[in-house]
Structure 1
Amino acid sequence: MASVGLLALVDDIASLLDDVSLMTKVAAKKTAGVLGDDLALNAQQVTGVDPKRELPVVWAVAKGSYLNKLILVPLALVISAVFPIGVTILLMLGGLFLCYEGMEKLAHKWLPHEESDNEHKKKLAAATTDENVDIKAYERKKIKGAIRTDFILSAEIIVIALGVVQGETFLTQAVVVSLIAIVMTSGVYGLVAGIVKFDDAGLALIKYGQGGSKFDGFQRKLGQVILFLAPKLMKFLSVVGMIAMFLVGGGILVHGLPFLHHLLEVLNTSLGAVMKVMMPMLFNGGVGLIAGVIVLSIVTGIKKLF
């Protein structure tokens, strides 16, 4: 009897691991949509910091991100256990926020704002060269701002991951959401560290490629290419992240609102094989754009009132 009980326990553990593996893969795909914007946003947060201090600043923000997850994961799991419908509500709010954030970025070029990007960059440059500025206090301010931003992005990731495992056992939910929190944080800040040092790698290659050999010439050219690509990489990540916001946010809304989900199914019935694959993405993106316009209009109207 003991051996039978042990085998049953092993079977249960294997089944749980299979569920966790499957759910984690699905949750990772869902939350990956936030990753592009997360990378660009966090890489931009260290702009203006002394190059020698970039990695320590990224590490400080990463520690703050882990602390955010340590607060948010148990809170989300408690809400899921005590008030399950609350996960759906949070998920829908998260979807609307993603659409709003994407539309805000898209509208930034033609909506009036307090200062231009060039003026903002000049202020950052002045902060690092002005002897009257306390560099440590400046760094602390940047780190705190980045951690506050990360809190919102972390909440989005956790809620999306929790939405994937909604209806599963509490243990499966806890393991999957915790794994997503750890993997996403490690992945994001590992990549951010690489991105902020990308241009430094180009400068190093140029510096050490001053000889007359073919290899030195190759190093210089590679360094020049890296310096050319570094700012374009940031812009590319920002664009990809913005598109992902509409796709992920719109997808959440379509999945959560039955009439939209039904409309998508109706549209798919009259389409060919290729368009059936493309339609969900186009439909989600369209819903995300419309939702973004509506929420941005409401927020802008409220700001004007106050």
Structure 2
Amino acid sequence: MASGFFAILDDIGALMDDIAVTSKLATKKTAGILGDDLAVNAEKATGFLSSREIPVLWAITKGSFINKLIILPVIFLLKWLYEPAINYILILGGIYLAYEGVEKIIEYIFHRGKKGHEVVQESVLQEDDENSEKSKISSAIKTDFILSLEIVIIALGTVIEKQHPLIEQIIAVSIVAFIATVGVYGIVALIVRMDDAGFFLMKKSGNKGFFSGLGQFLVKALPIVIKILGVVGTIALILVSGGIFHHHIEYIHHIVPTNIPEQIPQFGLGIVFGLAAVLVMTIGKKIYKFVIPAKK
């Protein structure tokens, strides 16, 4: 009886070893998209009043966990029932990401000519507006959903390649999804609180010495980091969407040249699909505005 108990423990240990190895492989495969995920979500979680940064980030983090709880069972169910549906969902998500990225570029081009005080005034009004904050959180959670979907699919593809049993697939992919949320939003939290860390160092060092200089550097660096994240996050949105179209639309995958870095056609694809999505949405909004008053 004791030998049977130890045999069970041995099996559990072997299973955990397999899961650890599989999770490591899946995490390596998703490293690229995790980097894009970090850039996008860091950009999404900045630009709020200092007192609202952590509550907003926590709200997005909770939304990200809920996204994973929805995605994981649905993906495994679709894999069993109708696997091509996963591809279609991912492509729709890519269109959404491309739309967001291109819309940001269009917004910048057409609003960069505004006077400084007008931009500052608008920014303050938006930050004070509770509905605007909720809208930004909702947008961040939607974007996280698409990025989480791609992370889960890439991780699942890795464990399927290795032909692991279903239980190992489920646990390994769940671990990768958990690491994605905790890792990404943990780093984002550190970024958005850089200035607080800087002020703390300055206060503790009495504004003297190395730590005071480090604190001043962190405080001055935060606005620059936020601007960089805005650019990098937008580029990441377009690249991720372009990567989805490149790898998951068979026709595009075959016509894209293979003798150039894949980021170039992926960026182009993201821009093209994004412009098409913006055009469709703009026409749709105009038709909606035209039809609704007519009903009244």
Same fold (TM over 0.5): yes
Q: Which letter does structure 1 place at the counterpart of 2:266? A: N
Instruction: Mark the CA change 1:181 to 1:142 in structure 2 (over 3 Å): closer, same or farther.
Output: farther
Output aligned runs, 1:186-201, within 5 Å: 186-201=182-197
Q: Distance in 2 between matches of 1:122 and 1:198?
A: 21
What does residue 225 of structure 2 align with? 233
Instruction: Mark the CA change 1:82 to 1:143 in structure 2 (over 3 Å): closer, same or farther.
Output: farther
Q: Distance in 2 between matches of 1:18 and 1:210?
A: 48
Aligned CA-pair RMSD: 3.3
Q: Distance in 1 between matches of 2:122 and 2:167?
A: 47
| Alignment: residue pair count | 273
Cα deviations by residue, 1:243-301 (Å, 9 ceiling, x for unpaired): 1122221111011222322223x451xxxxxxx4xx21112111111111111111122
Tell me, which stretches of 5 or more residues in structure 2 are unaligned?
A: 289-296
Tell me, which stretches of 5 or more residues in structure 1 are unaligned?
A: 129-137, 269-275
What does residue 272 of structure 1 align with? none
Q: Please report how far the alpha carbon of residue 144 of structure 1 lies from its aligned counterpart in structure 2 after TM superposition.
A: 5.2
Q: Does 1:48 align with 2:49?
A: yes
Q: Does 1:290 align with 2:272?
A: yes
What does residue 254 of structure 1 align with? 246
For the Cα contact (< 8 Å) 2:126–2:132, is it kept in 1?
Answer: no
Q: Distance in 1 between matches of 2:274 and 2:185?
A: 28
Q: Distance in 2 between matches of 1:207 and 1:10?
A: 50
Give the ranges of 4+ consecutive aligned residues of structure 1 lying more than 4 Å apart after TM superposition: 5-17, 141-147
For the Cα contact (< 8 Å) 1:28–1:180, is it kept in 2?
Answer: no
TM-score by length of 1: 0.75
Q: Secondary structure at the match of 1:109?
A: helix
Q: Which letter does structure 2 place at the counterpart of 1:186? A: V
Q: Does 1:149 align with 2:139?
A: yes
Q: Please report how far the alpha carbon of residue 90 of structure 1 lies from its aligned counterpart in structure 2 after TM superposition.
A: 0.9
Q: Please report how far the alpha carbon of residue 62 of structure 1 lies from its aligned counterpart in structure 2 after TM superposition.
A: 2.7
What does residue 119 of structure 1 align with? 121
For the Cα contact (< 8 Å) 2:15–2:168, is it kept in 1?
Answer: no
Instruction: Mark the CA change 1:64 to 1:11 in structure 2 (over 3 Å): closer, same or farther.
Output: closer
Q: Please report how far the alpha carbon of residue 39 of structure 1 lies from its aligned counterpart in structure 2 after TM superposition.
A: 1.4
Q: Distance in 2 between matches of 1:73 and 1:147?
A: 22
Output aligned runs, 1:1-306, within 5 Å: 17-44=20-47, 47-48=48-49, 50=51, 54-55=53-54, 58-111=57-110, 117-123=119-125, 127=128, 145=135, 148-164=138-154, 165-166=156-157, 168=160, 170-210=166-206, 216-264=208-256, 266-268=257-259, 276=260, 279-306=261-288
Cα deviations by residue, 1:126-162 (Å, 9 ceiling, x for unpaired): x49xxxxxxxxx5xx6885565334313321332124
Q: Distance in 1 between matches of 2:227 and 2:279?
A: 26
Q: Which letter does structure 2 place at the counterpart of 1:297? A: L
Cα deviations by residue, 1:149-202 (Å, 9 ceiling, x for unpaired): 343133213321243224826445423431232112112221232122211222
Cα deviations by residue, 1:88-108 (Å, 9 ceiling, x for unpaired): 001111222221111111111
Instruction: Mark the CA change 1:145 to 1:186 in structure 2 (over 3 Å): closer, same or farther.
Output: farther
Q: Which letter does structure 2 place at the counterpart of 1:296? A: V
Instruction: Mark the CA change 1:112 to 1:247 in structure 2 (over 3 Å): closer, same or farther.
Output: same
For the Cα contact (< 8 Å) 1:158–1:177, is it kept in 2?
Answer: no
Q: Distance in 1 between matches of 2:16 and 2:203?
A: 55
Instruction: Mark the CA change 1:81 to 1:123 in structure 2 (over 3 Å): closer, same or farther.
Output: same
Q: Secondary structure at the match of 1:43?
A: coil
Q: Distance in 1 between matches of 2:148 and 2:90?
A: 9
For the Cα contact (< 8 Å) 2:53–2:192, is it kept in 1?
Answer: yes
TM-score by length of 2: 0.77
For the Cα contact (< 8 Å) 1:20–1:172, is it kept in 2?
Answer: no
Counting aligned pairs with the same residue, the percent is: 29
Q: Distance in 1 between matches of 2:12 and 2:273?
A: 48
Instruction: Mark the CA change 1:117 to 1:16 in structure 2 (over 3 Å): closer, same or farther.
Output: same
Instruction: Mark the CA change 1:67 to 1:144 in structure 2 (over 3 Å): closer, same or farther.
Output: farther
Instruction: Mark the CA change 1:35 to 1:267 in structure 2 (over 3 Å): closer, same or farther.
Output: same
For the Cα contact (< 8 Å) 2:57–2:189, is it kept in 1?
Answer: yes
Structure 1 stretch displaced more, 93-102 or 57-66: 57-66
